[in-house]
Chain A
């Protein structure tokens, strides 16, 4: 297949010896090493790259770098990804790309029919329409129409990664000011990270003909880069975008060409002591009718394609400008042999020096505007009007319109950091003002648009950053900058050409197809705040987040409303500065390591025994139940429960949170942390306790044993381990540093096998041990240390099941051995392992409270009927005062109650509201746990009910997803109410 070739015969930073084959929309093309996908497409004569978001208008390349939203494509193949910008994608062998937002093809797109509807789908139309009969009727279609591309179907061959880094100075941007800042900071000895989002360093210098210190700009860049790369304290990241500048001088960088090569992308999170923002400036357009036609380009982008990639963006050009910088492009067009049909300048005069750049014979239309562009899939000509009289001046044939409306300093990151912006009347752009973090701004990003100013800025910023950090700073080098194009910026503010034709479309924001008329409509409808305008019209909400559109929109609003730019203000700049792939955010956190998980020494045993595993809080993966062949979940749970009530069973209690406490003030600490008193606790005795939050509500419960004279072992709920540790740490080190007490978390040190059931003692006594398990010598709530089956153990007599129970703890290395031993000797007693589900049923039968169920952050001990555990003698404990205030309020409070559903074999669902009559809608409480009790052979539940303790035997109604279940209120204990079974 032959294509029109727009490749210049020489120049550019491409390697013509390395040809690269690629595919676009099913056709094969070739480019060169060093090309972007966009430059290769342009070189192959491809004019239309995509279709626009709303009206499906044909779009071609219009800007450079991350500002070119029209170059959005879908990448297919092994590393498929949506929403990729061809303008920044390095061309690679075999790359396959296709256009988005078009069907069935880019050339023939059915969606273009939407243009016929354009009069009735202006900005905000979806806020006014699709309301009848219901928005959700239309939503799927709207959503489908709104999306670009599709998410990858499979895992990419290469990996995503994320990493952390630290440096003295982070420099964002490797243009002239960034490079100079890097030189200054690194020469001072600072550790520097220099991140630049382009494929090669140099920024605007790459397309400059200036000489620096007698060298061409390219040679100078090479020398600087060589020096930086030779410095081991400098990390230079190319094709890497700093997309977030967060609190604490913390920046996030997206590396698009990381090493080693089997990494696809890497997110680098950097903490920098100083940040230098040298992000440069984006050229902005002037808005006029049909300014989105393929062939209408930013002037600087035209220069980039010519100088960097040796591609001719067109054959015959018109330049439309309001400032002097675009005359560089005139020079580049001449250099590339592109004929210049006319220069249209909104200003009434230009300097002779500037005028001289334009070839003789090319007319300069002063005080003129491009009223309209002609053509559809490519520019075919322009209509030129007088700016002041609006009269037609000329119609000119051309296929390229180079537009420059001035430059916007790239202040996104500075603004993200919390820095303030102000409007600069000299450059007609927003520039950084007050900074809130340790940051400096250099070069075009702060409005220094001339090369020599930018270079000086960079050096100064680098030196200033190094000086602040205490590095000895060498003298500022004096570089001779010889820029042939040394003209002043000379901008005259001009944002938008008034439309001659009301139905014409002049686009402010190409990403969202937002027109000038849309903005005017929003203003007419009363949206005056720029933030409201943004949301109503979606200006700046597209893929580029308003990189080129926002300031122009502010200018249009300011002009329309007659207020200053500062008064209109900017919208909020938020991360990410450029699109970031989810894979980068996830890094290595994917596949089977998405979330952390915790194992006990017996986890593999549980799995091999067929246990159904689940996450049971604090990331512990625990057995839920162990189904026998052919058993349902309910059958398995009931079998396990019966085994505990009638025989003997065992569960893995290792995850229980545990803390070793030591010191003469240990007792005082416990008395302050718990509601009850720990005075006079005997060694080897334990006590159950409740901890409160400062607000008087229950935080945690657990049993604490006294191990020695000043030593204790505290346990807490599995899910509360980390929080409990934080509370202890804070309490001991911050609130009461006067206490002579120390603590160490030991949760993972100990494995735990809990043997429970009437035969538990018999089983343990059948194993050789120096521990006497007899009831008299080893009573309930006591502990023993010794050797059991040759393993060192601590055995605690505590029960969560309501049966005789021994919690056997051993150092984790012996855990599996202990478990295996107990299963083996337990065979004669027909022992079985039980999971968390059976445990849950058993504790509900017994009326034991559980974190996350009855203890839900809203209850105090009195609500749960546990006033017995609140000491009346202690003068203080955490939460005491708040609890007393709460109690004195005498508001209607919810009490823990039991529920006996009268006609349901299905356990009521947790969280189901309790109401007083069948048809009542006001909730008076809720079900905290509902189970089928194999012991009672019926459904039972626990719940919290307003004034519940005064409502025993009353019938209330459980609203189970619309199904009303009557239930009789009972005491919250259904089994062994006097605790005999536990104490035997």
Chain B
């Protein structure tokens, strides 16, 4: 028996990378009915999307694919003349869900992040097998790891290995 965890690719979600001063980011997001989480490394869910604040001057806005073009266009429009960079990065990342009682045990093999302090609704960029990516915590036993799309096959294979979801006896 391996760890009690499911490791699966997440359904594609739209991701918009938003960078700028907190004030500028806040003003742009508020026009779309969202706001920036007060503290970095946390996330807030809004009707129109989830804002993951992954740094002091950096957040990732997540929403359904059906809203991708609209949101990107709105952000593009709102960020004109303001020092905020909104870049669609939906295709830059691939999400992998880790769910189950041992999700943290598996995650601890993947990232040097202090998972004791990584509470629910936390979000941060970190190392994933030594490569850059970001992780969000969506519940007590649910994490989503977003890795660079080009590394997705490698990351998934190795994550499943960490979860012992393989059989090398034969």
Residues on A facing B (Cβ under 8 Å): 155, 157, 159, 161-167, 191, 260-263, 269, 271, 587-589, 591-593, 596-600, 619-620, 655, 660, 662-664, 740, 742-751, 811-813
A residues near B154, Cβ cutoff 8 Å: 593, 596-599
Q: Establish whether residues B109 and A599, one from each chain, have CB atoms under 8 Å apart when the complex forms.
A: no
- Could you name 22 residue pairs across A and B whose Cβ atoms are closer than 8 Å? A159-B168, A161-B162, A163-B108, A164-B111, A165-B108, A166-B114, A191-B116, A262-B1, A262-B2, A263-B164, A592-B157, A597-B151, A599-B152, A619-B151, A663-B83, A740-B83, A742-B20, A744-B87, A744-B89, A746-B92, A748-B92, A748-B93
A residues near B153, Cβ cutoff 8 Å: 597, 599
Q: Establish whether residues B131 and A596, one from each chain, have CB atoms under 8 Å apart when the complex forms.
A: yes
B residues near A743, Cβ cutoff 8 Å: 85
A447 to B7, CA, bound (A): 50
B17 interface residue per 8 A CB criterion:
yes
Q: Establish whether residues B109 and A163, one from each chain, have CB atoms under 8 Å apart when the complex forms.
A: yes
B residues near A269, Cβ cutoff 8 Å: 112
B residues near A746, Cβ cutoff 8 Å: 87, 89, 92
Q: Establish whether residues B151 and A596, one from each chain, have CB atoms under 8 Å apart when the complex forms.
A: yes
CB distance from B90 to the nearest CB of A (A): 7
Q: A155-B168, A161-B162, A811-B90 are in contact. Are A742 and B131 (CB under 8 A)?
A: no
CB distance from B84 to the nearest CB of A (A): 8
Of the residues B111, B148, B157, contact of A748 by C-beta under 8 Å:
B148
Q: Establish whether residues A749 and B92, one from each chain, have CB atoms under 8 Å apart when the complex forms.
A: yes
Q: Establish whether residues B19 and A742, one from each chain, have CB atoms under 8 Å apart when the complex forms.
A: yes
Residue of A nearest to B128 (CB): A596
CB distance from B29 to the nearest CB of A (A): 16
Residue of A nearest to B79 (CB): A662
CB distance from B122 to the nearest CB of A (A): 14
CB distance from A838 to the nearest CB of B (A): 22
Interface flags, B97-128, vs A, CB<8A=1, else 0: 00000000100110111111100000000000
CB distance from A73 to the nearest CB of B (A): 25
A588 to B19, CA, bound (A): 35
A residues near B39, Cβ cutoff 8 Å: none
Residue of B nearest to A742 (CB): B85
Q: Establish whether residues B1 and A260, one from each chain, have CB atoms under 8 Å apart when the complex forms.
A: yes
Q: Which of A157, A162, A596, A620 has its CB near the most chain B CB atoms (within 10 A)? A: A596
Contacts A164-B111, A596-B131 given; 9 further ones with Cβ under 8 A? A588-B158, A588-B161, A591-B161, A596-B154, A597-B154, A660-B87, A743-B85, A744-B19, A811-B88
Q: Establish whether residues B158 and A593, one from each chain, have CB atoms under 8 Å apart when the complex forms.
A: yes
Q: Establish whether residues B168 and A260, one from each chain, have CB atoms under 8 Å apart when the complex forms.
A: no
Residue of A nearest to B69 (CB): A792
Residue of B nearest to A813 (CB): B91
Chain A to chain B: the 10 pairs with minimum beta-carbon distance, closest first: A812-B91, A598-B150, A742-B85, A166-B114, A662-B85, A749-B92, A164-B112, A744-B87, A163-B108, A593-B158
A263 to B106, CA, bound (A): 13
Of the residues A262, A620, A748, contact of B149 by C-beta under 8 Å:
A748
Q: Establish whether residues B130 and A596, one from each chain, have CB atoms under 8 Å apart when the complex forms.
A: yes
CB distance from B149 to the nearest CB of A (A): 4
Q: Establish whether residues A260 and B109, one from each chain, have CB atoms under 8 Å apart when the complex forms.
A: no
B residues near A260, Cβ cutoff 8 Å: 1-3, 164
Q: Establish whether residues B91 and A811, one from each chain, have CB atoms under 8 Å apart when the complex forms.
A: yes
A residues near B162, Cβ cutoff 8 Å: 161, 588
Q: A742-B83, A812-B149 are in contact. Are A164 and B113 (CB under 8 A)?
A: yes
B9 interface residue per 8 A CB criterion:
no
Q: Establish whether residues A593 and B87, one from each chain, have CB atoms under 8 Å apart when the complex forms.
A: no
A746 to B20, CA, bound (A): 17
A residues near B48, Cβ cutoff 8 Å: none
Residues on B facing A (Cβ under 8 Å): 1-3, 12, 17, 19-20, 83-85, 87-93, 105, 108-109, 111-117, 129-131, 148-154, 157-158, 161-162, 164, 168-169
A468 to B2, CA, bound (A): 39
Q: A742-B85, A744-B17 are in contact. Are A157 and B164 (CB under 8 A)?
A: no
CB distance from B159 to the nearest CB of A (A): 8
A164 to B135, CA, bound (A): 15
CB distance from A608 to the nearest CB of B (A): 15
A596 to B159, CA, bound (A): 12
Of the residues B108, B129, B151, contact of A598 by C-beta under 8 Å:
B151
CB distance from B168 to the nearest CB of A (A): 6
Residue of B nearest to A262 (CB): B164
CB distance from B85 to the nearest CB of A (A): 4
Q: Establish whether residues B108 and A749, one from each chain, have CB atoms under 8 Å apart when the complex forms.
A: no
Q: Establish whether residues A600 and B87, one from each chain, have CB atoms under 8 Å apart when the complex forms.
A: no
CB distance from A718 to the nearest CB of B (A): 11
A219 to B34, CA, bound (A): 60
Residue of B nearest to A654 (CB): B150
Residue of B nearest to A587 (CB): B109
A residues near B117, Cβ cutoff 8 Å: 166
Residue of A nearest to B166 (CB): A159
A residues near B115, Cβ cutoff 8 Å: 166
B residues near A159, Cβ cutoff 8 Å: 161, 164, 168
A110 to B116, CA, bound (A): 57
A743 to B83, CA, bound (A): 11
Of the residues A261, A271, A749, contact of B91 by C-beta under 8 Å:
A749
A189 to B1, CA, bound (A): 34
A residues near B90, Cβ cutoff 8 Å: 749, 811, 813
Q: A260-B1, A589-B158, A596-B130 are in contact. Are A162 and B89 (CB under 8 A)?
A: no
Q: Establish whether residues A157 and B111, one from each chain, have CB atoms under 8 Å apart when the complex forms.
A: no
B residues near A747, Cβ cutoff 8 Å: 92, 150
A747 to B131, CA, bound (A): 15
B residues near A749, Cβ cutoff 8 Å: 87-92
Residue of A nearest to B115 (CB): A166
A972 to B113, CA, bound (A): 50
B residues near A662, Cβ cutoff 8 Å: 85
A residues near B108, Cβ cutoff 8 Å: 163-165
A residues near B84, Cβ cutoff 8 Å: 742
Q: Establish whether residues A620 and B150, one from each chain, have CB atoms under 8 Å apart when the complex forms.
A: yes
Q: Establish whether residues A600 and B150, one from each chain, have CB atoms under 8 Å apart when the complex forms.
A: yes
A residues near B85, Cβ cutoff 8 Å: 660, 662-663, 742-744
Q: Establish whether residues A588 and B131, one from each chain, have CB atoms under 8 Å apart when the complex forms.
A: no
CB distance from A15 to the nearest CB of B (A): 24
A residues near B93, Cβ cutoff 8 Å: 748
A residues near B83, Cβ cutoff 8 Å: 663-664, 740, 742
CB distance from A234 to the nearest CB of B (A): 12
CB distance from A726 to the nearest CB of B (A): 11
CB distance from A426 to the nearest CB of B (A): 41
Residue of A nearest to B157 (CB): A593
A residues near B152, Cβ cutoff 8 Å: 599
Q: Which of B19, B84, B152 has its CB near the most chain A CB atoms (within 10 A)? A: B19
Q: Establish whether residues B88 and A599, one from each chain, have CB atoms under 8 Å apart when the complex forms.
A: no
B residues near A812, Cβ cutoff 8 Å: 91-92, 149
A244 to B19, CA, bound (A): 40
Q: Which of A161, A588, A745 has its CB near the most chain B CB atoms (within 10 A)? A: A588
B residues near A162, Cβ cutoff 8 Å: 109
A325 to B114, CA, bound (A): 44
Of the residues B91, B116, B130, B157, contact of A750 by C-beta under 8 Å:
B91
A residues near B150, Cβ cutoff 8 Å: 598-600, 620, 655, 747-748
CB distance from A237 to the nearest CB of B (A): 14
Residue of B nearest to A600 (CB): B150
CB distance from B98 to the nearest CB of A (A): 14
CB distance from A730 to the nearest CB of B (A): 15
A165 to B154, CA, bound (A): 23
